[in-house]
Homo-oligomer: A and B are copies of this chain.
Amino acid sequence: VGSPKYTSDRMYDVTPPGVIMGLAWTSMGGTSLYIESVLGSVISDDSKPSFHRTGQLGDVMKESSSIAYTFSKAFMAHHFPENKFFDKASVHLHVPEGATPKDGPSAGTTMTTSLLSLALNTPALADVAMTGELTLTGKVLKIGGVKEKTIAAKRSGVSNIIFPASNRADWDELPAYIKEGLTPHFVGWYEEVFKVVFPALEMKK
């Protein structure tokens, strides 16, 4: 309906469980990027949990993925106590494209959502992209490149973007033609991300 969407950045038409669209930003402009989490080995009775990552991640992003992993385990234990996925799972998280170095903390919410989507075996709502640094307790912190990321999200054909609440002023300053057709969601804590992305899932508490 209406004018065609640009989809050149769109790697997936439908994302399977474990795959979430994030937004990155460089001096060259913004881009969408996917975070993929999959099970590294079939789970058996004597499986040991482990976490492996690839995608030429820099030191900050490696730490960020490690925060996402710790937070995801705590989140599951708290909100889905009957789910024992992380007790046994060998998880492999990858960020295509494999030759492009990536860094920065702003994929925190995306990596966490990717891990939770895998653990819950539930795909994220279609049409959502997100950006936000995460702390170990689930606080979502301000990121850079709101304008570039918004343009990239639009180009990728999504209609919902999840931003840190502390970036609301950056959004408000964007010209209307950039914001047209996009619904922003401003979140202060990870729980709010979860409710946007997995609307059908009921958290225990």
Contact = CB atoms under 8 A, between A and B. Distances in A.
B133 A70 contact: no
Most buried by B among A34, A40, A49: A40
B70 A141 contact: no
A70 to B, nearest CB: 5
A42 B73 contact: yes
Interface residues of A, number: 46
Stoichiometry, copies per complex = 3
A204 to B, nearest CB: 14
A196 interface: no
B42 A67 contact: no
A98 B105 contact: yes
Interface stretch (A10-18, A153-161, A174-182): A10-18
Contact of A135 (B59, B60, B86, B96): B96
Interface string A24-43: 00000000001011111110
B59 A59 contact: no
Given A38-B136, A54-B64, A67-B98, 10 more contacts: A19-B137, A34-B135, A36-B136, A38-B137, A40-B70, A42-B87, A56-B60, A67-B92, A97-B133, A98-B133
Interface of A: 11-12, 16, 18-19, 34, 36-42, 49, 52, 54-56, 59-60, 63-64, 66-67, 70-71, 73-74, 77, 86-87, 92, 94, 96-99, 104-105, 108, 133, 135-137, 139, 141
Q: List the 6 closest A-B pairs by CB distance, nearest first.
A: A98-B105, A54-B63, A94-B136, A36-B136, A96-B135, A70-B92
12 contacts: A11-B135, A16-B137, A38-B137, A40-B70, A54-B63, A54-B64, A55-B63, A60-B99, A63-B94, A67-B94, A94-B136, A97-B141
